[in-house]
Amino acid sequence: MTRSLAILGATGSIGASTLAVVEEVNTRAAARGEPVPFTVDSLTANTDATAMIALAGQWRPAFVAMADPLAGAQVREALAGSGIEVGIGPGACDAAAARPTDVVMAAVVGAAGLAPTLVAARRGATVLLANKECLVCAGPLFLAEARKAGATILPTDSEHNAIFQVLGDPAQVEKLILTASGGPFRTASADQIAAATPEQAVAHPNWSMGRKISVDSATLMNKGLELIEAALLFDMPEERIEVLVHPQSVIHSLVAYRDGTQLAQLGCADMRIPIAHVLAWPSRFETSVQRLDLAAVGQLTFEAPDHARFPALGLARAALRGPPAAPTVLNAANEVAVESFLARNVGFPEIAAIVAETLTQASRRGLDGALASLDDVMAADAAGRALAREEVARRAR
């Protein structure tokens, strides 16, 4: 009954929510005199040694890994004599994923999550997928490897988890409808958006998130990346995935069936809800998260996304229709562009412009082709970054 768990990216916000759910469901089970649902076998992080030392003390995992060498040395020193093995460097994070745990929460942010998540998938683990890059940058490769190994991939992102919860026979599905808050500039004019500052862009209305992903939410690129993820995860052509702006973020996504029915998952904006779902799947856990009270919410609103003010969605669709590595290039270019925006080197509307130009250049030079190996992924990613940096430089001049 007790399953062992590895958390890749344990000190981030998804890691914290995962441990909060594990703590609650373990405590409830213990209070009932039942075996706890989870033991925490391994935790990984990048640089936050202080947080990792605290987590290790609380959870007593068998193994912790720090990607950053200095942080790793600090954790190793703090945990000396504790009996907890400490690995250092990116290879140690892969080693955490390779341990024979039942479940792996893949919550590393960014391209760094790719390699360890692939390791977990390749050994046939149950992977709770919260890392975007596995699908956006390496989707066809990642899914093929997971299928080959018999891994179970459970979507943990709130939108994809919502779809997963109401997805029946794919042959009966007419379309997937991804909801989007619309971000902080939903009601802003084109002029206001042109003048947007990093401070305005990172102020997300509903979810508390990091700076990069907050900017992605402001450009709607976040939804574009999710559209790519959904297309791969649910094997659905781009034209059958719709984006619906829904500022209250109460309906987390919908599936439309060919008989006119739409099924939806709703809840408060709390990542513990999808996390509890994938941790318990195919059952459910009782949790104490705040319950949705629609009468108290009062009103839900919906609107079509405005492609003129938010061109990122169209770019993501174009990348999906392109060669296998076009989404990899799109993602790399977007990271560079957002970084440049946050560093005040380019303006807000230039983020999409840089991505668009990078996609064009990559296609022209044939840099968006195959995705047969992790090397291909890395090459497309590097090409996207290099081209985007050129474009940033050109614009900054």
* Positions in the binding site for its own copies (CB under 8 A): 165-166, 168-169, 172, 174, 177, 244-246, 251, 254, 256-268, 270, 272-273, 276-277, 280, 283-287, 289-292, 294-295, 297-304
Residue number with CB closer to its own copies (81 or 296): 296
DSSP H/E element including 343: none
**229 with 136: CB under 8 angstroms?**
yes
Q: Which residues contact 336 (CB under 8 A, 6 or more apart)?
A: 354, 384, 385, 388, 389, 392
Residue number with CB closer to its own copies (27 or 290): 290
Residue number with CB closer to its own copies (242 or 390): 242
**At residue 167, what are phi and psi to the nearest 5 degrees?**
-90, 115
Closest C-alpha among 227, 307, 355, 192 to residue 201: 192
Residue number with CB closer to its own copies (304 or 308): 304
**96 with 116: CB under 8 angstroms?**
yes
Strands (E) across 217-278 are located at 241-245, 251-257, 262-266
Q: Which residue has the tokens 């938010």?
A: 310
Q: Measured from the CB of residue 183, what is the shortest distance to its own copies in angstroms?
A: 17
Q: Measured from the CB of residue 288, what is the shortest distance to its own copies in angstroms?
A: 8
Q: Which residue has the tokens 């022209």?
A: 364
Q: Please, what is the Cα angle at 190 between 185 and 195, to 5 degrees? A: 75
Q: Please, what is the Cα angle at 326 between 307 and 198, to 5 degrees? A: 50
Residue number with CB closer to its own copies (307 or 364): 307
First to last CA, the chain: 61
**121 with 36: CB under 8 angstroms?**
no
Q: Measured from the CB of residue 269, what is the shortest distance to its own copies in angstroms?
A: 11
Q: Measured from the CB of residue 181, what is the shortest distance to its own copies in angstroms?
A: 14
| Positive/negative CA dihedral, 212, 217, 218, 220 | positive
Token pair belonging to 191: 């002029």
Closest C-alpha among 114, 42, 118 to residue 75: 42
Residue 209: other Cβ atoms inside 10 A: 16
Q: Measured from the CB of residue 310, what is the shortest distance to its own copies in angstroms?
A: 14
Q: Measured from the CB of residue 274, what is the shortest distance to its own copies in angstroms?
A: 8
Q: Measured from the CB of residue 261, what is the shortest distance to its own copies in angstroms?
A: 5
Q: Measured from the CB of residue 303, what is the shortest distance to its own copies in angstroms?
A: 5
Q: Measured from the CB of residue 244, what is the shortest distance to its own copies in angstroms?
A: 6
Closest C-alpha among 153, 169, 136 to residue 319: 136
Q: Output the DSSP codes for 135-165.
A: HHTTHHHHHHHHHHHT-EEEE-SHHHHHHHH
